[in-house]
Amino acid sequence: LSWLVERHEILRTVFNDRNGKAYQVILPPEPFHLDWIELQEGWQTWIQSEANRPFDLTRGPLLRAMLIKIAPDNSVLFINLHHIVTDGWSTRVFLQELSEAYNGFAAGKRFWAPALPVQYADFAIWQRDRLEDNSLKAQREYWVNHFRQVPAGLELSTDHPRPVRQTYRGMTREYPVSSDLLEDLKAFSLQQGVTLFMSLLAAFQVLLYRYTSQIEFTIGTPVANRTLSETEGLIGFFVNTLVLRANLSGDPDFEEVLQRVREISLGAYAHQDLPFEKLVDELKVERDLSRNALFQVMFVLQNTLGSALTFSGVNADEMAIAAEATKFDLTFFFNENGRGASIAVEYSTDLFDAGTIERMVGHYQCLLKAALAAPRQKITLLPILTESERRQILVEWNDTRREYGRDECIHELFEARARENPEAVAVVFESESLRYGELDRRANQLACYLQGLGVGPDTLVGICMERSLEMVIGLVGILKAGGAYVPLDPTYPVDRLTFMLQDAGVKILLTQAKLKSIFLTDSVINTQPGLTAVEYICIDRDWPTIALKPSINPVSAVKPANLSYVIYTSGSTGKPKGVQICHESVVNFLRSMKYEPGIT
């Protein structure tokens, strides 16, 4: 470790303030201090806590290391670097050189490696010079033209409201990817003339489109930014962020999306030297403390297929530490290494729950498989649901079978309620009301009267009445008689009412005295002579006669499969049509409403 710090100036660099601007201070090399503790229990928690401990950029060190003995023959080497002095590429350089140096010293000799041609400070000066002498003018113009109109922010549905100010609280979860899917993706990419990254990004864009219905949005992605050969062996923060614009207009197929991604990606790679921070400044993006500028979601392909680390006399494995912070709403990492592939998602815990992230990864993998199987399918038709979700939606959520009284009719449900609570108020109209017992008795009298006129199962009885207590008595009475009612709104035009009566073949009409004339004016009778054959019962005028009938429940031969009512459609596309509804359908519906939403 001391050798590495001496070799790479950035590992002994701190950052001070001079008139409001940060600058690098390279400290002289000193022996590295490696802490050592013995901790057999709770060491994972300790490491997580230590990983979240802030650095002091002005004093350093910005590299920390701790050797933790967790068993007599097992230790953990914990290494923590601030991101300002390292990046993903640098991590591989660091670990590879650490391995080589360890093996050299373990062999009893000081490790030697060729001197580095440049240091990170040289790169920083070179980059600044290019920005100041307009060497990057063409790249500036490319990005400014590319984002002449910046797409609206990506509006993903979140589990929690977006905070007014980002907290950067986050979590990372990792999910395996099958080797078969990985190999299929590589073969497909080769066939399409694109990179693995482009195929993965195209599917990710489609996923976000399916989630948001936004046809344009932006996604961030990192690039190593080591275009100079001298920087390949350096440790330092070289990585730059490219902003890739997604365009999913016109409901393209997946192959078309893939070609759009290829074109955008190649253009971005060719203009990757302009630092992301300078791009934000150039575009004069309005800052929003609740989200990142230019993009809120990042996609990363991490390919670490280098040789495995070897330490002389030691069996060594790398351990990943899940971050408890995030810079963006979401970051998708597609990881490929010697052990296989996985998808890791770093997400804002202020916005998303773990279950949402798991479903999102499942949808992404389903979308990848579907796109590989049918690349010329429209992206709106590519399936994204997992098999378990499809079963849940199509089978489990539709498994609404319930046991209910299949031998019951509507009026029998009412009669049961009337027996239980005869004094409870059943109907209220303006200042009048009817209790269950009274409504039941009066409906029974009307039912007996109707049965005397021949009303029985599937007999259609018209009911044309204004809102009133008598209207409810009429409805229940018709059902108790065994018949089915045909509701006729007295505010409808006469020709519509007469059509419904004749179309249904109604022979008995329950109405009120003042409404009877609607059907028996001279003009109506002259054009519709059949209406004179209808039996008109005016419930208000004829009630003294009806009231002479028994008030006990009448006996009828009606069954659940018989009609309960016939209701006519609006007729907006032609003549109204009568829809026949049987008792069992209504009872089924009422029973289901008892379960959800809970009508009693």
pLDDT single digits (tens) 516-561: 888 876 666 666 666 667 899 999 999 999 999 999 999 999 999 9
- In sequence order, what are the residues at sequence separation of 6 or more whose Cβ sits closer than 8 angstroms to the Cβ of residue 87? 222, 224, 236, 237, 238, 239
d(Cα 272, Cα 510) in Å, to the nearest integer?
Answer: 83
User: Parallel, antiparallel, or unpaired: how do β-strands 460-464 and 484-487 relate?
Assistant: parallel
Q: Are 482 and 443 in contact (CB under 8 A)?
A: no
Task: Spell out where 305-370 has E strands.
Answer: 330-337, 340-348
Q: What does pLDDT average to over the chain? A: 92
For 422, how many CA atoms within 13 A lie in the half-sphere containing its CB? 6
Q: Are 511 and 464 in contact (CB under 8 A)?
A: yes
d(Cα 467, Cα 446) in Å, to the nearest integer?
Answer: 18
User: What pLDDT band is residue 113 in, cutting at 50, 70 and 90?
Assistant: confident
**Both tokens of residue 552?**
């006990």
CA 164 to chain centre: 22
Q: Give the mean model confidence (pLDDT) for residues 295-317.
A: 85
Residue whose tokens read 């590519």 = 382
Long-range contacts of 71-76 (CB under 8 A, 24+ apart): 71/40, 76/43, 76/47, 76/319
pLDDT single digits (tens) 210-259: 999 999 999 999 999 998 899 999 999 999 999 999 999 999 999 999 99
> Residue 318: which of 348, 339, 334 has the closest Cα?
339
**Please, what is the angle between helix 254-270 and helix 196-212, to 10°?**
120
Q: How far is CA 236 from CA 42, 85, 121, 519, in A?
A: 32, 5, 9, 94
pLDDT at 414: 95
- For the chain, the maximum distance between any two Cα atoms, rounded to a whole number of angstroms, is 123
d(Cα 384, Cα 177) in Å, to the nearest integer?
Answer: 16
Q: Which helix (H) or strand (E) holds 13?
A: strand 13-18
pLDDT at 523: 60
Task: Kindly report the pTM of this predicted structure.
Answer: 0.72
Q: How far is CA 385 from CA 252, 253, 365, 370, in A?
A: 20, 18, 9, 10
Task: Tell me which of 119-123, 158-162, 272-276, 398-402 is least confident.
Answer: 398-402
Cis peptide before 61 (omega within 30 of 0): yes
Burial class (CB in 10 A: 0-12, 13-18, 19+), 485: buried
